[in-house]
Amino acid sequence: MNNNSIEFELNNCNDELNAIEHLILGLGTSQVCLYLLKYAVIRSCSCIEHAFKNLIADYYEAGSPRVASFISRHVRENSKNPSYEAIYDQLNEFDSTMATSFKNNFLLETDHERYKGSLKSLKNLRNDVAHGTNITTSIAVVKTYFSDSRKIIECLDRTLDH
């Protein structure tokens, strides 16, 4: 990736998910596993949200320092559930050409529909955890959702680099 701080954050989250998976496997049927799984869902989804908002904010702040405060308030610090559509819409608010470029680059990804579905599933799981709904997924599935969602972030990073 071109944005080293975002790449570091994504790698760190991936390392945490691997550690959580090992803990869950070691704990077996312990009630603690459910808490670890819920943490993994929140951590991974929040990482993707933070990554997309900061990639966009970093790019546009560098281009126009006068609007840094606005960007910080309305992009970086704004609570926004991550989704392909949210990323596209956020870009489109700044530059429709950049948003179209992101969309076209993303459509070139062989498994783009799977990536969108994984991010939607990850977001839905986070919302379920936030609203107290039981989740019945596995850490392996959460890791797959994160990995697929990361592909969207990597596409955004490549698009913003041009």
Q: Which residues are CB-neighbours of 24 under 8 A, at least 6 positions away? A: 33, 36, 37, 139
> pLDDT tens digits, residue range 97-117?
999 999 999 999 999 999 999
Task: Please report the pLDDT score of residue 65 as a whole number.
Answer: 67
**Exposure class string for 112-133: b at 16+ Cβ within 10 A, else e:** beebbebbbbbbbbbebbeeee
pLDDT of amino acid 127: 96
Task: Report residue 33 as tokens.
Answer: 């596993």
* pLDDT for res 72: 79
Eight-class DSSP state of 107: H
Q: What is the dihedral angle through the alpha carbons of 71, 74, 79, 84, rounded to the nearest 10 degrees?
A: -70
Per-residue tens of pLDDT for the chain, all 162 residues: 999 999 999 999 999 999 999 999 999 989 999 999 999 999 999 999 999 999 999 888 876 667 777 787 778 888 788 999 999 999 999 899 999 999 999 999 999 999 999 999 999 999 999 999 999 999 999 999 999 999 999 999 999 987
pLDDT for res 9: 98
Q: Among 104, 102, 73, which Cα is nearest to 89's?
A: 102
How far, in Å, CA of 159 to CA of 162, rounded?
Answer: 6
What is the pTM assigned to this prediction?
Answer: 0.93
Closest CA to 39 of 126, 133, 145, 148: 126
pLDDT of residue 78: 80
What is the pLDDT, as a whole number, of residue 131? Answer: 96
By three-state DSSP, how is residue 36 classified?
helix
pLDDT score for 130: 95
